[in-house]
Amino acid sequence: MNSTSIDLVAEIHSSSSDEENEISFSSVSRVSSACCTSSLYTNKQIEFFLRTDKQKYRILANENNKKATSWWRSFGFPAVLNEKNGFERIHGYISCTKYYRTSIYGSKSGTKRFIDHANRCSPLSSQSIPNQRNPEESQATLDNIVIKKKAHITTKEQNEIKHLYAKWICEDLRPFTIVENNGFQQLAQTFIRLGSQYGCIDVKEVVRSRQAVARTVDDLAQKHRTILKSELREPLKAQAITIAPDFWTSKYNQQAFLHMMHYSDCREILGN
């Protein structure tokens, strides 16, 4: 490696600000084809070039694709334009042809992460059937979070949601604060997650009847009573419970509370 290449490598590693990184990136893109090795690039730099400089950087198909395993359908080799106006492979890396996600790759590299990525990025026909989907494969992973950008709805859709909110509150006489409740937001987020996982599903499959909800409330109440009894047993014996007047009213259901009970256990954990 000549002195110019060494200076470029030092420049990449020493730069910290975004402006300096952009200068380093543009400098690397002018390196001659003889220096086209993995030591001049990081996977993040390659991703940056593939997204922003498509004339000088592209992904080459695996020439041995016919003999390669099926996960290669989503991957190729990153390459840079050399002085002869030909694209030369950047050794030591492979890139996703759809999202440009770039990873270090060599003869000793494991393939599980590449298989998982390919199944999410370019699922085979047998994997696209909802009934054959493995629930464990549908769970959120770091790769899934990095690859998928956060979706945003249009202004028209936002207005439609606001109108449905207003209509629901007026027709069912609900308080305005219900749309800000943590429980409502958790429920809505769960509906969105299920929709992204299974596609368009009937609302009747996810909305429970009032009888089912009432039974669940009773079950949860009994469960928490049992837990509370277990927590209070030790403080009662140790006389470590204090009941203090504390008149306040819930802003949601206007239910009044006359006192507050504080207690601590042997671990000196305070509860109320």
Could you state, in order of their start, the residue ranges of all structural domains in the chain?
A: 3-147, 155-205, 210-271
Share of the chain above pLDDT 70, in %: 68
Q: How many whole angstroms separate alpha carbon 50 and alpha carbon 79?
A: 9
Three-state DSSP at 2 gives coil
What is the phi/psi pair of residue 72, to 5°? -70, -10
pLDDT at 70 over 50: yes
Per-residue model confidence as pLDDT tens digits over 168-205: 999 999 888 888 888 888 888 888 888 888 888 888 88
For the ranges 7-16, 168-177, 194-203, 252-261, the one whose mean pLDDT is highest: 168-177
Q: Which residues contact 250 (CB under 8 A, 6 or more apart)?
A: 256, 257
Total residue count of the chain as it appears in this document = 272
Q: What are phi and psi for residue 261, nearest 5 degrees?
A: -110, 130
- Report yes or no on whether pTM surpasses 0.85: no
214 sits in which H/E element: helix 210-237
Closest CA to 101 of 89, 82, 114: 114
How does pLDDT run across 100-116, given as a tens digit for each residue? 989 888 877 778 888 88
Position 190, amino acid: T
Neighbour-count burial of 27, counting CB atoms closer than 10 A to its CB (0-12 exposed, 13-18 middle, 19+ buried): middle
C-alpha–C-alpha distance, residues 54 and 59, integer Å: 10
The CATH number that domain 155-205 falls under is 1.10.10
